[in-house]
Amino acid sequence: MSQTLDTLNTRFALPHTLVFSESVPGWPVAEITTPLASARVALHGAHVLSWQPAGQQPVIWVSQAAFFEPGKPVRGGVPVCWPWFGAVPGKTLHGFVRTMLWQLRSAEQDAGGQVVLRLGLTDDATTRAVWDHAFDLELVVTVGLTLTLALTTRNTGDAPLSITQALHTYLCTADITQTTVQGLDGTPYLDKVQAFAVCQQSGDVTFSGETDRIYTDTTADSLIQDGASRRSIRISKQGSASTVVWNPWVEKEKTMADMAPGEHRQFLCVETCNAGPDAVTIAPAMTHTLAATISVV
């Protein structure tokens, strides 16, 4: 049963801290404002739309041309890609949970003033029609001076589950041509721009054209250096063996109806994943948690 705006505000609102709004009918958003940070999280897709720690510029990027509609993914924020990352023949790209309405399970403020939202989704006839497995999926979003997303998959069926997944994080940058990603030097990657050729990173990742890479077998933090605004963002992760780095650049951007001209200059995706060969298998009754913590350093 979907949660109405009234239900959400009655059960979960926190005075001066958390309120639910619906500027698009049927598309509720949790609006968080605390002395530590502000953030917005849509129940559709359990999709973090923004996060701005106190004293900083916004960290999470969303396109000016993004669609905010039931059933459509949002261009920007942190789409949850699950139970597969990327393309699977005959199925939607990046799984199906980023366009589904999740349930809010709890909303609390912890002792340190962070707001903690727990959103969940379980299998039903709709999910069984596209992926015939029993599961419970929960995303815990912790909003404070850092932003943490922890995605737990519970196998509630009686056979092993195999998944790939991503916290497909879009980050603001002042100028992509002056942006680098540190932490992946020496790491092998599958280059989607070169038909998934196996390559190896040498030095920092820099951007001068379409970039779409699955770095495999890496648990390292990523450090994004935004040279033009002199800001650094760290993404540390747990339960993740792959990192995806993506920017569509000029030509690919033009093919996307939900991206405005020139926007590729303002963002990059550094995604906390288990992708390609780093698929995860979960035994019956067991869980797996994929987590990312983002901080401005």
Tell whether residue 86 is a contact of ligand TA6 (CB under 6 A).
yes
Residues 118 and 110 sit within 8 Å (Cβ to Cβ): no
Of positions 40, 118, 154, 192, contacts ligand TA6 by CB under 6 A:
192
Query: Would you call the peptide bond into 83 cis, given omega within 30 degrees of 0 as the criterion?
Result: yes
Residue 98 C-beta: closest distance to ligand TA6, Å: 8
Stretch that binds ligand TA6, among 53-61, 86-94, 231-239, 282-290 (CB under 6 A): 86-94
For ligand TA6, the closer CB: 86 or 144: 86
Query: In the complex, what is the shortest distance from the CB of residue 220 to ligand TA6, in angstroms, rounded to a whole number?
Result: 18
Cβ distance to ligand TA6 smaller for residue 235 or 269: 269
Instruction: Give the x-and-dash track for 57-76 against ligand TA6 (CB under 6 A).
Output: ----------------x---
Could you count the other beta carbons within 10 Å of the beta carbon of residue 50? 22
CB of 61 to ligand TA6, least distance (A): 13
- CB closest to ligand TA6, residue no: 246
Active-site residue identified among 44, 47, 168, 264: 168
SS3 track for the chain: CCCCHHHHHHHHCECCCEEEECCCCCCCEEEEECCCEEEEEECECCEEEEEEECCCCCCECECCCCCCCCCCCCCECECEEECCCCCCCCCCCCECHHHCECEEEEEEECCCCCEEEEEEEECCHHHHHHCCCCEEEEEEEEECCCEEEEEEEEECCCCCEEECEEECCEEECCCHHHEEEECCCCCEEEEHHHCCEEEECCCCEECCCCEEEEECCCCCCEEEEECCCCEEEEEEEECCCEEEEEECHHHHHHCCCCCCCCHHHHEEEEEEEECHHHCEEECCCCEEEEEEEEEEC
Which of 212, 253, 263, 278 contacts ligand TA6 by CB under 6 A? Answer: 212
**Block residue for tokens 């992708």:** 275
- For the bound state, the minimum distance from the C-beta of residue 258 to ligand TA6, rounded and expressed in Å, comes to 8
Whose Cβ is closer to ligand TA6: residue 155's or residue 201's? 201
Residue 264 annotated among the catalytic residues of the structure: no
Least distance CB 269 / ligand TA6 (angstroms):
6
Please count the residues of this chain forming the interface with ligand TA6, following the rule CB under 6 A. Answer: 11
Contacts of ligand TA6 in 214-273 (CB under 6 A): 244, 246, 269, 271
> Does the footprint of ligand TA6 cover residue 138 (CB under 6 A)?
no
Is residue 170 within the footprint of ligand TA6 (CB under 6 A)? no
Which of 139, 134, 132, 131 has its CA nearest to residue 122?
134
Amino acid at residue number 145: L
Site string for ligand TA6, 93-112 (x = CB under 6 A): xx------------------
Nearest residue (CB) to ligand TA6, 104 versus 176:
176
Residue 263 is a catalytic residue: no
Catalytically active residues are 168, 271
Binding footprint of ligand TA6 on the chain (CB under 6 A):
73, 86, 93-94, 168, 192, 212, 244, 246, 269, 271
